[in-house]
Copies of this chain bind each other. A is one copy, B any other.
Amino acid sequence: MAGSTYGKLFTVTTWGESHGPAIGVVIDGCPAGLPLTEENIQQFLDRRKPGQSRFTTARSEADQAEILSGVFGGRTTGTPISVIVRNQDQRSRDYGKIKDCYRPGHADYTFDAKYGIRDYRGGGRTSGRETIGRVAAGAVASRLLKRLGIHVTAYTKAIGSISVPESEYDYDSINQNPLYMPNNEYAGKAAAYLESCVKNQDSSGGIIECIIDGMPAGIGEPVFDKLDACLAKAVMSIGAVKGVEIGDGFEAARMTGSADNDEFCMKKGTVCKKSNHSGGTLGGLSDGSRIVLRAAVKPTPSISREQKTVDIHGKETSISITGRHDPVIVPRAVVVAESMAAITVADLLLANMGAKMEYLEKIYKE
């Protein structure tokens, strides 16, 4: 695969550049018979749409999803689902500096190094708009999961050093503040911090947390396609993510085995764990507990402060990124992380259907 297709059975192929005519995704391998409308997808896209708060770019985009195939009579047909979003804000402009200079923290230089050619308009393929396709696919995957009782939820755990401790989580708050934090008070503090970043012509990093409830035990493939390994790749493939951890994560490196191990017990006739340091996986397979994943997101690299750089001719120069940019990537990336997690789990659920003869007999012999 050439890099723009994700998944083995529930496959997602995204395409499109920031300032091309459109951006889109082809979702192949979605089982037939899943109820699906454009509204289902739109709800997800609206969560990453620009212009929602004073911390997101003012670019005016409706980001209206159109389903072009794979759905008939309100249900998926098993054939590829093509979703397209027209780019509207393509007014011609002067790309001068972006065209000729390598922006620090961006992929301008590495794209030139790889391909020798680069669509510089708005970042081209490396623009955050690339995630539109992921989110549309995530909407489909999430619907599929919900019908099986699996729920994926992502939110902003931290912005800069303002981090909501787990003990103060209030999941209902997530959609009550523009930063998607599970605590409105912390969201207020984070907003104030972001205001100061903007004033300083600067930006902030943060942490996304994603939880998955209702996972049956045994999902994931041992060895290379472990559930946590796949989730790590899924989330790390989102631009600006620089780290990922599951359960106790990096904290586990400082712990002892007696503290980190989760003891087993029985609850209502089912094997359960007394704690969840593992974050819901053992040996790369889901263990029936909640999956808990965190992703570290670097600060927005586009800042108006002047930075030193070089141009495409190898001359040293400096650049300050004009125009309005989000001072933080995290809030709009929340739904992207949720989407990538949902796609990954859907893919592994399908892979798991061949785990034992009993399943094959259930489908082919009954």
- Are B72 and A117 interface neighbours, CB within 8 A? yes
Partner of A257 from the list B126, B202, B357 (CB cut-off 8 Å) is B202
- Are B360 and A362 interface neighbours, CB within 8 A? no
- Are A204 and B256 interface neighbours, CB within 8 A? yes
- Are B349 and A79 interface neighbours, CB within 8 A? no
Query: 1/0 contact trace for A232-272 toward B, CB 8 Å?
Result: 11101101001111111111111111111111111001010
- Are A10 and B2 interface neighbours, CB within 8 A? yes
Which of A47-55, A177-185, A284-292 touches B? Answer: A284-292
- Are A310 and B77 interface neighbours, CB within 8 A? no
In the assembly, what is the distance between CA of A119 and CA of B254, in Å?
31
Query: How far, in Å, is A40 (CB) from chain B's closest CB?
Result: 15
Query: How far, in Å, is A102 (CB) from chain B's closest CB?
Result: 5
From 96 to 118 in chain A, residues with beta carbon under 8 angstroms from any chain B beta carbon are 102, 104-107, 109-111, 113-118
Query: How far, in Å, is A131 (CB) from chain B's closest CB?
Result: 10
Residues on B with C-beta less than 8 A from A259 are: 299
In the assembly, what is the distance between CA of A351 and CA of B4, in Å?
13
Known: A2-B10, A109-B282, A232-B232. A77 touches B299 (CB 8 A): no
Residues on B with C-beta less than 8 A from A354 are: 2, 9-10, 29, 31, 350, 353
Given contacts A2-B29, A32-B357, 8 further A-B contacts (CB under 8 A): A4-B223, A113-B285, A148-B361, A225-B237, A236-B246, A239-B284, A255-B298, A257-B302
